[in-house]
Amino acid sequence: MFRRRDPKTDVIRRLPAFADQSTRRVADASKVLDLVTVEAGHTLLTQGDLGHEFYLVVEGRARVERDGQVIAHISDGAVIGEMALVGAGRRNATVVAETEMVLATSTRPYFAGLVAEFPGFGRQVRQASEARTAVPA
């Protein structure tokens, strides 16, 4: 019996956080992840806002600003917005798309489950959080 491949699962498998998982496991993750495309100039996150979702960059580039100053650039494979879901709930930076971006996204209720069920994703979240905590405010 042949099984039709899910294009969303194929896209999510390209993310480093899920690259080492079986097709079935990636399909499980894709049930709680949505794919969205945003245009260059779109503000993904605004510093100080409450955080309800996170993003994984499939394709594209964005700049990260804190207090109006560019502090970093992010691109393919990066996780965005996890700090508000791990910590106090407020965004600590503004993130603006510099190019068209394809993103995998989900919300707070699914975040902890993804971290627990997918070690690569959990590791990426921890590493990103540690690196961003080290960036001077």
Question: pLDDT at position 136, please?
Answer: 56
Whole-angstrom Cα distance, residue 80 to residue 42?
14
Question: pLDDT at position 1, please?
Answer: 54
Stated pTM of the model: 0.87
pLDDT tens-digit profile, the chain (137 residues): 555 667 889 999 989 888 889 989 999 999 999 999 999 999 999 999 999 999 999 999 999 999 999 999 999 999 999 988 887 688 999 999 999 999 999 998 888 889 889 888 888 888 887 777 765 55
Question: pLDDT at position 44, please?
Answer: 97
Torsion-angle region of residue 77: left (phi > 0), alpha (psi -120 to 50) or beta?
left
7-134: in CATH 3.30.110.40: no
Question: pLDDT at position 53, please?
Answer: 94
Task: Please give the order of strands across the beta sheet that includes 79-80.
Answer: 34-38, 101-107, 53-59, 79-80
Domain coordinates in residue numbering, the chain:
7-134
Dihedral of alpha carbons 33, 59, 15, 50, sign = negative
Query: Are 65 and 93 a contacting pair, CB within 8 Å?
Result: yes
